[in-house]
Amino acid sequence: MEIFDTISAHSTAMGLPLFAVTVAAAAKADTPMILILHWHGFGKETPVSIPGIPTPSRPVAGSAMQINQRWDSVESVDQAMLDAAWQLGAWDVERLVGRPWWRLGATDSETLACYRAFGEYPDQEPGQEHVVVADAPDREELMWLAANRGYIRWMFRPRKGGLWGDVDDEDCTLEEGGGRTLPCPVQPRACDADRAIRTIYRLGYVDHIILPEKYD
């Protein structure tokens, strides 16, 4: 699956650190997935510069793109995300199963979480800058499918090429540069797409006792 290669290519092109990487898929095999790269950075509101007047900045919008590769099980996407997260030095990967919200009794928070998983922010104020810029022609259909059948959302925060590379946390699995070499030793777990449940795959660890720093 092309997830790691897509992340690497876009990171090189943008030249910005990543805050997080998410992938969302409707709970139906062989449907397109939405990959979102959440950047950490600010850009100018306008290229026009007026002497004496500061130019406002805005957060760089995330990049959403459609992945059309075939997948036959949730665990196969797990493996692709684990491999990508492992190579990019992430501490863990989160897999969240969301229930279909097109049903009686569904809460507003469930609906909003589903929209956001696919890069749509209906709670955004009119006139605000886009949170995510999407190149995903089937996104509307996928969100409707997720509303009726449920969805799965994966997330990790990369160290290599990411904001989290500057965090001074110990991790014995990391190589120089903040990444790791395949294969990833963590294996996918079975997924029940009919239950709303969060699964955490722990990738990093510390193999020694961390003593507190002494201050004079």
pLDDT tens digits, 140-183:
999 999 999 999 999 999 999 888 887 767 788 999 889 999 99
H helix or E strand, kind and range, residue 18: strand 18-26
Determine the pLDDT at residue 44. 47
Determine the pLDDT at residue 55. 52
Q: What does the alpha-carbon distance between residue 95 and residue 24 come to, in Å, rounded to a whole number?
A: 10
**What type of residue is 141?**
E
DSSP3 helix / strand / coil % (the chain, rounded to 5): 25, 25, 55
Confidence of residue 111 (pLDDT cuts 50, 70, 90): very high
Q: Could you give the percent of the chain with pLDDT greater than 90?
A: 62
Token readout for 107 is 């809460």
* Residue 93 bridge partners (DSSP): 201
Task: Write phi, then psi, for 157 (nearest 5 degrees).
Answer: -115, 110
Determine the pLDDT at residue 42. 54
Determine the pLDDT at residue 160. 92
More confident: 59 or 135: 135
Q: What does the alpha-carbon distance between residue 141 and residue 27 come to, in Å, rounded to a whole number?
A: 13
Q: Model-level pTM?
A: 0.85
Q: Are 199 and 189 in contact (CB under 8 A)?
A: yes
pLDDT tens digits, 16-44:
899 999 999 999 999 999 999 999 765 54
Rounded average pLDDT over 3-10 = 94
